A and B are shown apart, each in its own frame.
Chain A
Amino acid sequence: MITWTIRRLVQAGFVVLAMTAIVFVGVHVIGNPVDILISPEADQAERARIITSMGLDQPLWRQYAYFLRGALHGDLGRSFVFNEPALRLIAQRMPATLELAVTAVLFAMVFGVPLGLYAGLKPDGFLGRAIMAGSILGFSLPSFWVGLMLIMVFAVQLGWLPSTGRGQTETLFGVPWSFLTWDGLRHMLLPALNLALFNISLVLRLTRAGVRETLPMDFVKFARAKGLSPARVIFVHVLKNIMIPIVTVLGLELGSTIAFAVVTESVFAWPGMGKLIIDSINVLDRPVIVAYLMMIVLLFVTINLVVDMLYMLLDPRVRLERKS
């Protein structure tokens, strides 16, 4: 178990290293941040001064070496645009994205499981069919469009909810959170729903498929024959059995929801990491791009590692396989 964990960690380290190299070269090929940041009225001497001060006059391999040396000391460089450490910038924006992603995944559970359950129990009913048809829309509608429609309906036409932004925040553990204030919650509802739409459809379909698969099984018949109430059969025996794949998928979806909330954050002007990375790519703010992608890779590596470890703890078969 320990050697296995160490091996996985070393692998993860190499993945991160390879990623930094790819990003470094990739961003270098796109263009020169100085061309974008500099005032159009600046003269050639000023341009040269900025190139030197950013260290961009050095050859690429040396810039990369400097970066690696800094990274080993926990310093991923300063943003060219904000003149703040890239890591601090990302950490500043992270809570906003985290709470949005977590809320979206919660929505996926709260709406996805009951709807899927219903569609699984009544596959031929009108409502069951309607739910399934709706889930196709949830999968296929582009989220920027859905986001704008949500704003048009709930903010512009009905005036129930604010259109964009994060609203009031309340500090907890030194970090501002929206979910602690009423105003913050109101601001969060639409973007979280928009982000959740795909996941709701996913959970819904997984639940439905699970229910349809489990209902004809012997243990369900047996439970019925034993005279258990329908509610107990459904909620204890059926639901428990189908939850394992759903939880696994949701865990992985949490990762991608955090990493790829870009579109929703842009449409709702939500000041999270996704908006930061898009702005940074537009102005080629290299340190922020690299730091962000490193963090995302770390996030996925960690989630995968945890999931693998949980499997081993939960499923005796996986453990036995490894022993033999």
Chain B
Amino acid sequence: MAMFGAREFWETKMRPSFRALSGLLLSFGICLTLGRAHGQTLGIASSAPVTSIDPHYHTFAPNESFSAHVYERLVTRNAAGEMIPGLAVSWKLRDDHTWEFKLRDVKFHDGTPLTAEDVAYTLNRVPRVKNSPASYSIYTKAVTGTEIVDPRTILLRTDGPYPLLPNDLANIFIIPHGLGPDPAIEDFNSGKNAIGTGPYRFVSFIPGDRIEMERFDAYWGDKPYWKHVTYRIISNDASRTAALLAGDVGIIEFVPPTDLPALRKDPRVTLAEVVSNRSIFLWLDHAHDGPSPFVTGPNGEVLTTNPLNDLRVRQALSLAINRQGIVDRVMEGAAIPTGQYLRPGSYSYVPDLPPTPYQPERAKALLAEAGFPKGLRVTIHGPNDRYVNDAKIIQAVAQMWQRIGVQTTVDAMPWNTFIARAGKQEFSIFLLGWGVGSGEGLNPLRAQLATWNPARGLGTANRGRYSNPAVDALIDQAMGTMDDGAREKLIQTAMKRAMDDVPVIQLHLQKNIWATRKGLVYEPRVDEATLAMGVGAMGVRESK
């Protein structure tokens, strides 16, 4: 083999070129360090792709988070989730089914003034958006008629009393009527139709990558601090954190709990967190009177009835869960234990409905009393890619149930498979979450706990098919009560009544967590939206 002068060949011919190559690479690296752009630009890393610039196309949180920069609603929400005047200066009831909205004197990005006609036009357009995969018409269908009194005043009529109209309208972004009948979605994405009254103007949209925005200097409210905003999509959790640490973006949303302990200690980063209105819970099967599909006796024998229909069994399962343990160990502190859907301090939060305590001995006793002294055998189903640590949560619950004699298996699967099966009542016990967008108790009561009733549009998300006529009656009564104080009492009574039945086992309320570069501050929002307007620099007056 040595017949070939490989060594001398290397020394004379190859080594110099390798040296040159490494020199080249080195200088390349040095060049790369130059020229990082800074200035009045804020980079936001969003966790999920924005699917359209059209604010009425798809009821989808990431779209709304972006849209809130460019467009505005009549009624808007502050960081704590309370309703505050947006494009409407005020609203009041004229009679039980007529609302009067007074509009603010503001201009759209194209210079035209906002008038009542724009509001009527928007409400008319929302249900007519073509091919919408999830229409905003669910928030406008209560409006049965509009009447323009003068350019600043509009009357909205509902079919009978409907106290939730302002809550519903807090989802609808107003666009100018100058866009003409049936403005095309493509024209929003290209920017032609992307005209609102918001603090930022739309500049460009690269699907799946980024949206560029620029401050609207004629904005009526507080001027935001940042001149340019780059709204980037970085769905991978670890990459989002890395983008922040590298300084490529100023703020990231949905900080993964696994990174929390490290980020809490990192001097380059500031965290902003708030308890959200998204609760995580276990649905229990109320649909089957006969055997439930994934509940059997302790030796796998088929039961003749569904044990989950027995209140004592449901209570036992709830008492056996150490919620604080899940919050501390599984969620790394990014949640608080809960016994209901709403966060403390919300309108219609029930004060005497604390998280269920951890009492495994009482749980065992209750099971025995219900006729299952030797326990049960159950399977918990859940998604593994939807909620924060979803699969880990059900694993933890399974271990806790094991201790009271309920032999538990865990079956976690992708959301796209899971949700279809959950909707067909194929599971016995399954994990889901519910974000209360409206921030008040009628929302979960009507969607989750009311008896499933397609004709009336009630119980739409009641996947366990819980039903209690007394609760239904209270919900109806609350829906007809226009006085906020009286309605709050009714909602609280209904919620207490329902939750005493343990229709679902509430576990915890997630926290929304943002991380910013040191020197930036973010006012954490209950509604999960990441807004450039809320990002301030240390020592600079924060907007709103």
Contacts and interface: CB of A to CB of B under 8 A. Distances in A.
Nearest to A275: B208
Interface stretch (B154-162, B320-328, B387-395, B416-424): B416-424
A186 B32 CA distance: 7
B10 A43 contact: no
Contacts of B539: none
Identify whether the interface residues of A are mostly helix, strand, loop, or mixed: helix
Contacts of B435: 40
Q: Which of A39, A166, A221, A271 has the most CB atoms of chain B within a 10 A radius of its CB?
A: A39
Interface in B1-47: 1, 3-10, 13-14, 18, 21, 29, 32-33, 35
Given A36-B415, A118-B14, A189-B32, 14 more contacts: A36-B416, A39-B135, A44-B454, A46-B135, A80-B133, A83-B57, A84-B186, A92-B207, A148-B238, A164-B239, A221-B3, A266-B236, A269-B236, A276-B208
Contact of A267 (B135, B138, B239): B239
A259 B206 CA distance: 21
A163 B242 contact: yes
Contacts of B454: 43-45
Contacts of B35: 182
A148 B419 contact: no
Contacts of B416: 30-31, 36, 281-284
A271 B5 CA distance: 49
Nearest to B434: A40
B138 A39 contact: yes
A234 interface: yes
Given A31-B419, A44-B454, A231 B9 contact: yes
B508 to A, nearest CB: 19
A104 B236 CA distance: 22
Interface of B: 1, 3-10, 13-14, 18, 21, 29, 32-33, 35, 49, 51-52, 57-60, 130-135, 137-138, 185-186, 206-210, 232-236, 238-239, 242-243, 245-248, 385, 414-421, 423, 434-435, 437, 443, 447, 454, 457-458, 460-461
B461 A156 contact: no
Contacts, number: 192
A36 B51 CA distance: 14
A242 interface: no
A122 interface: yes
Contacts of B458: 43
A184 interface: no
Contact of B243 (A89, A164, A176, A220): A164
B32 A161 contact: yes
A160 B461 CA distance: 49
A304 interface: no
Contacts of B418: 31
B59 A39 contact: yes
B419 A83 contact: no
A272 to B, nearest CB: 8
Contacts of A134: none
A152 B242 contact: yes
Given A50-B134, A162-B246, A279-B49, A37 B58 contact: yes
Given A41-B460, A151-B246, A163-B239, A121 B420 contact: no
Chain A contact-residue range equals 35 or more
B14 A271 contact: no
B415 A41 contact: no
Contacts of A182: 35
A280 B437 CA distance: 25
Contact of B232 (A40, A45, A81, A165): A165
B9 A121 contact: yes
Contacts of B51: 81-82
A224 interface: yes
A50 B207 contact: no
A316 B447 CA distance: 73
Given A53-B131, A82-B52, A121-B10, A162 B248 contact: yes
A230 B13 contact: yes
11 contacts: A34-B133, A53-B131, A83-B185, A118-B10, A155-B246, A159-B33, A159-B246, A160-B29, A165-B234, A269-B209, A282-B416
Interface in A93-110: 93
Contacts of A83: 52, 57, 130-133, 185
Given A32-B420, A50-B134, A267-B239, A156 B32 contact: no
Nearest to B447: A41
Nearest to B135: A46
Given A42-B138, A83-B131, A30 B239 contact: no
Given A155-B248, A164-B243, A266-B235, A39 B134 contact: yes
B238 A31 contact: no
A269 B134 contact: no
A42 B460 contact: yes
Contact of B133 (A40, A81, A267, A276): A81
Contacts of B234: 164-165, 269
B207 A148 contact: no
Contacts of B49: 279
A2 to B, nearest CB: 42
A59 interface: no
Contact of B138 (A33, A46, A81, A220): A46
Contacts of A279: 49, 208, 235
Contacts of B238: 148, 267
A269 B133 contact: no
A266 B233 CA distance: 10
Contact of A271 (B59, B209, B385, B443): B209
A269 B414 CA distance: 21
Nearest to B13: A231
A121 B1 CA distance: 10
A121 B12 CA distance: 14
Contacts of A84: 186
